[in-house]
Amino acid sequence: MSNILVVDDDKSILIFIEQALTDSHQIFTSETVACAEEISNNNTIDLLIADLVMPKKNGIDMIMEFKKIHPDIKILAISGGGGITGRFDYLPIAKLVGAEDTLKKPFTVTELRSSINTILETKH
């Protein structure tokens, strides 16, 4: 059982991930980076699942900030693409700034669980 914080401006993604993981983990969800920061200050978060394209603060900045403030946090970056065309791929950049793994939307429950298990197993 790990504490997992999911940040995505798309509420349907939050619901999807929460339903997929709630049997085995404590799930926190947030639609904004500001709210996510508050949750992580009040709870020990083991894994941050970070959307990369969000209206106010982008996910790349969020990942860098979380890694700085919480050095032990693990990160899974998720994105369906960004930029004007929606085709720009931010996922490799997320890895460069410290994400342990990335998943391209849309992904399945199996892919999500597999990625999370790998990240959390390599924790210690």
What does the block give as tokens for 33?
């980076």
Cβ 80 to Mg ion, closest distance in Å? Answer: 7
Nearby residues of 5 by Cβ (< 8 Å), 6 or more positions away: 28, 29, 30, 36, 39, 40, 43, 45, 47, 48, 49
Q: Give alpha helix (H) positions in 22-58.
A: 33-42
Show the site string, 28-67: x = touches Mg ion by CB under 5 A, - = not: -----------------------x-xx-------------
Query: Quick check: 77 binds Mg ion (CB under 5 A)?
Result: no
Cβ 29 to Mg ion, closest distance in Å? Answer: 13
Of 27 and 52, CB closest to Mg ion? 52
Residue 122 is given by DSSP the state: T
Rule CB under 5 A: which residues touch Mg ion? 9, 51, 53-54
